[in-house]
Amino acid sequence: MKNNSVNIPVLFLFILLINYCVLAQCSDAGVCRLSDHSFDIENNTSLDVSVAYKFGSSGKEDDVQFHSLQLNGNYNLFTNSSIKFLIPYNIQSGPGGNVSGLGDLIISWNQNLLSYESSSLNASLGIKLATGSDNKNSLPQLYQSGLGSNDLLFT
């Protein structure tokens, strides 16, 4: 009888690697927008305000396009800790119509937990407030500027 004990861990690892790609997606709740952490170690009370533009496309047959103009703010409370806010103005356009408006407001507290040379480990705790419309022109959610829910965010 052949020993299958070596094959079981290999099979388990293979299944994990396949699922890793499936699970490595961002949520619709706004967690992806928290990724731009920055800590100004030289100036503990620095306030940074910026404007960003983002573009995306659904890549599907209906090809809905997304444009987002975002007002970002970051205030360093003390060493390695900051509060961040994001206010987006979103424009969605596709075969179903065009919708634009204020998106959902995101506020987060960001903490640097560990730093070593050029690597760091950060954590964020935040909220997403349903400030954007989620039912404009009776179009599907894909076209809406907001999700219509208040969410707790953790990264």
Query: At residue 23, does pLDDT exceed 50?
Result: no
Query: At residue 31, does pLDDT exceed 70?
Result: no
Report the pLDDT value the prediction gives residue 105, as an integer from 0 to 100.
93
Whether pTM exceeds 0.75: no
Q: With bands split at pLDDT 50, 70 and 90, how would you rate the model's confidence at 34?
A: low
Q: What are phi and psi of 138, to 5 degrees?
A: 55, 35
Judge whether 129 and 151 are in contact, CB under 8 Å.
no
Which is more confident, 42 or 125?
125
Q: Residue 76: how many CB atoms within 10 A of its CB?
A: 21
Report the alpha-carbon distance of residue 111 to residue 143 in Å, rounded: 34
Give every CB contact of residue 133 below 8 A, 6+ residues apart in sequence: 99, 101, 102, 144, 145, 146
Which is more confident, 60 or 71?
71
Q: CA 107 from chain center: how many Å?
A: 12
* Helices and strands, number each (H, E), in the chain: 1, 7
Judge whether 52 and 72 are in contact, CB under 8 Å.
yes
Report the alpha-carbon distance of residue 39 to residue 68 in Å, rounded: 24
Judge whether 65 and 92 are in contact, CB under 8 Å.
yes
Report the pLDDT value the prediction gives residue 11, as an integer from 0 to 100.
72
Q: With bands split at pLDDT 50, 70 and 90, how would you rate the model's confidence at 46?
A: confident
Which is more confident, 19 or 128?
128
For 52-97, the three-class secondary structure string (H helix, E strand, C coil) is EEEEEECCCCCCCEEEEEEEEEEEEEECCEEEEEEEEEEEEEECCE
Which amino acid is it at 38?
A: S
6-20, 73-87, 138-152 — which is least confidently predicted?
A: 6-20
Which amino acid is it at 63?
A: D
Report the pLDDT value the prediction gives residue 73, as an integer from 0 to 100.
94
Which amino acid is it at 20?
A: Y
